[in-house]
Amino acid sequence: MSTTSIVTIFAICVSILLVIFRWNKGNSDTETKLLKLPLIGDLHSSPLDKPLLNWDSWARDNGPVAIPKLFGIIPVVVLNSYDAVTELFSRRSQWYSNRPASVSMEMITDDKSGQSKFTLMHDYDEHLKLHHRILAPSLGALGSPRYRPLIVLESKQLLVDLLNAVRTSPGEISTHSIFPLLERTQASIILALHYGLRIADCEQKILHDVIDIQTQITHVAATPAMPDFIPLLRHLPAFFSPWKRAADKLYAAQVDLYLRLFNHGRQSPGWNATKQAISTAEKSGIDKVPDLDIAFNMATSVQGGMETFPRQILWLFIAALHRPSFVTRAHALLDEVVGRDRMPLFSDRAGLKFIDAIASEILRWRPIAPGAIPRRADRDDEIDCIKIKEGVTIMANAWGIGRDAKVFDPALGDLDDFVPERWLRVVDGGEEKLMTELPLPVFGQGRRMCQGKRVATDGLYMQIASILWAFDIEAADGEEVDPWEMVVAGFMTMPREVKFRLRPRGDWATRVIERDGKDVGKALDAFLGVVDQGEK
Ligand code: HEM
């Protein structure tokens, strides 16, 4: 067939598809109302402003392994119990560690099927294993002594920012108005850890460049386009394909940003994950790992750390407004262990298990990614007499697993309630122990589980301890708090806007924040400027 005929056939196909696409767009109002969460969609028929209200009863009614059909056509396996997810994602992990194909996600990194440079979407092959090894020394137990001072300093800066916000607009604090402050804090921790880059304030351009690209990527991942339904479309030349033109543009923007950040990391004076990755890659025995691949690996991790955490910690405020009794206990403990003349530290952690219990309960009670990130079955299989077809999409219901009565004892508190005590047990000698053996399903499970779990739980400990040490969190006059109300952002949920009062717990808190916050900027710059903090 001549080139002209191929192009003509393509052109006809595209015209037909554009008509279909426009028709779909024309009907998108009804569709968006129905599809409240990617994948979960409308299966459980919850109201729009409370998208998870009926999700748990849906899971209970459908059993540990359910196979609903999306749009009544596409089967999706939903794992509703901890046993089921452990069996498939951990014990049989060799068949459940890949992601479902996402043509759009491959197009935006100019890659073939299963080979997205965005490592979250890459198949679990030798390439991905290498990139996991490259990242692990920075995010795991080995890396934590290096990044913890950052988390402490940024938590101090967060208290300064919150105090300023309270002073500038007393009575006007809301989950939405403090969100940028939480976002800056986490961005600064994550960008410093990966590239030695500090984000001093919310206006910094690089912060918005990063957030803008991340928002575009999440939109692509959460909103399938025509090429995801008709993969052949990916081969259309850019001239005929609006999808290819958009993907090429986003790819070019990513390459530009990620290489800028990568070079910043490589040239910064102190230790950071980029330098660590380059050094680990050199020792890996692989000839030369391309800079661009390392740059995308870092960027994937940065996105994992920045997009999730600030949304997750917002639920602390909702929990405090909904169940204030746990705040009273935390205040008493913080006074006893930390006192009123300094802010909390990591060295206080052994005495502050209740703070870690609050963090774990936030992750269980309101997992921001209730359906986690989906996987793909790589063989025909069977579990609990239910057949799983090769190629089918599988999601772990993090929300339901956190309410699995076989794992979380309902006698310790209704599973829909916020009860941090369920994470503590009194052991011999009367001491309280944190139940680290209980699962945190929001981080996923098995080979693909979140690599940044330790950075996230360290950050939650320090930020929760700092916020509760400094502030009383009180309902604003006339404001009703309904913890079921939430909005959906990509794969994630966050509380709908709630107004509240944030009040320093006393003059002592204001005095310490002002005293210790004064030099945080200088301390952070000095920390990031240290020539060698031990990278070997
Ligand atoms: C509350 C905070 C966080 C939540 C809820 C979260 C959640 C997740 C989830 C659900 C996955 C996919 C797991 C699976 O498929 O089983 C994931 C993967 C990942 N996360 Fe996180 N994450 C958080 C924080 C972080 C942080 C702070 C970092 C980095 C410092 C990070 C880096 C990563 C990376 C690199 C992956 C990719 C693993 C892979 O697909 O091979 N995450 N995360």
End-to-end CA distance of the chain, in Å?
58
User: Residue 33 pLDDT more than 80?
Assistant: no
Give pLDDT, residue 6: 38
Q: How far is the CA of 104 from the centre of ligand 1 (A)?
A: 20
Distance separating alpha carbons of residues 375 and 391, to the nearest angstrom: 10
Cα three-residue angle 299-300-301, rounded to 5 degrees: 90
Per residue in 233-270, pLDDT (tens digit) is 999 999 999 999 999 999 999 999 999 999 999 999 88
Question: 450: annotated binding-site residue?
Answer: yes
* Dihedral in degrees, nearest 10, Cα atoms 230, 231, 232, 234: 120
Residue % of the chain over a pLDDT of 90: 67
Give pLDDT, residue 28: 39
Half-sphere exposure of 504 (CA within 13 A, CB side): 20
Give pLDDT, residue 24: 38
**Cross-strand pairs, 74:** 70
Give pLDDT, residue 110: 86
Beta carbon of 368 within 6 Å of any ligand 1 atom? yes
Per residue in 328-362, pLDDT (tens digit) is 999 999 999 999 999 999 999 999 999 999 999 99
Q: How far is the CA of 302 from the centre of ligand 1 (A)?
A: 10
Per residue in 486-509, pLDDT (tens digit) is 988 777 889 999 999 999 999 999
User: Residue 74 pLDDT more than 60?
Assistant: yes
The residue with tokens 């994937």 is 300
Per residue in 52-68, pLDDT (tens digit) is 877 888 888 888 998 88
Share the mean pLDDT of the chain.
88
Tell me the average pLDDT across 371-385: 93
* 3-class state of residue 382 by DSSP: strand
Specify the ligand 1 atom closest to the Cα of 445.
16
Specify the ligand 1 atom closest to the Cα of 128.
41
Retrieve residue 508's tokens.
């002592």
Assign 11 a pLDDT band (cuts: 50, 70, 90): very low
Q: How far is the CA of 459 from the centre of ligand 1 (A)?
A: 14
Per residue in 76-120, pLDDT (tens digit) is 899 999 999 999 999 999 999 999 988 998 999 888 888 999 999
Beta carbon of 452 within 6 Å of any ligand 1 atom? yes
User: Residue 381 pLDDT more than 80?
Assistant: yes
Beta carbon of 450 within 6 Å of any ligand 1 atom? yes
Phi-psi region of 301 (alpha: psi -120 to 50; beta: other; left: phi over 0): alpha
Assign 16 a pLDDT band (cuts: 50, 70, 90): very low
Give pLDDT, residue 21: 37
Q: How far is the CA of 187 from the centre of ligand 1 (A)?
A: 15
Give pLDDT, residue 43: 64
Label the pairing between strands 74-79 and 69-70. Answer: antiparallel
Beta carbon of 131 within 6 Å of any ligand 1 atom? no
Considering the entire predicted model, what is its pTM?
A: 0.91
Find out whether 407 and 414 touch, Cβ atoms under 8 Å: no
Dihedral pair phi/psi, residue 122, rounded to 5°? -75, 145
Label the pairing between strands 393-396 and 74-79. Answer: parallel
Distance separating alpha carbons of residues 458 and 437, to the nearest angstrom: 17
Distance separating alpha carbons of residues 362 and 345, to the nearest angstrom: 21
Long-range contacts of 1-5 (CB under 8 A, 24+ apart): none
Specify the ligand 1 atom closest to the Cα of 301.
35
Is domain 97-367+402-529 annotated with CATH 3.30.56.10?
no
Give pLDDT, residue 44: 67
Retrieve residue 158's tokens.
């967060």
Per residue in 195-223, pLDDT (tens digit) is 999 999 999 999 999 999 999 999 888 88
Whole-number Cα distances in Å, 233 to 36, 105, 223, 244, 374: 27, 14, 16, 9, 23
Label the pairing between strands 375-376 and 393-396. Answer: antiparallel
Per residue in 507-524, pLDDT (tens digit) is 999 999 999 988 888 888
Beta carbon of 442 within 6 Å of any ligand 1 atom? yes
Handedness of CA 344, 345, 350, 354 (dihedral sign): positive
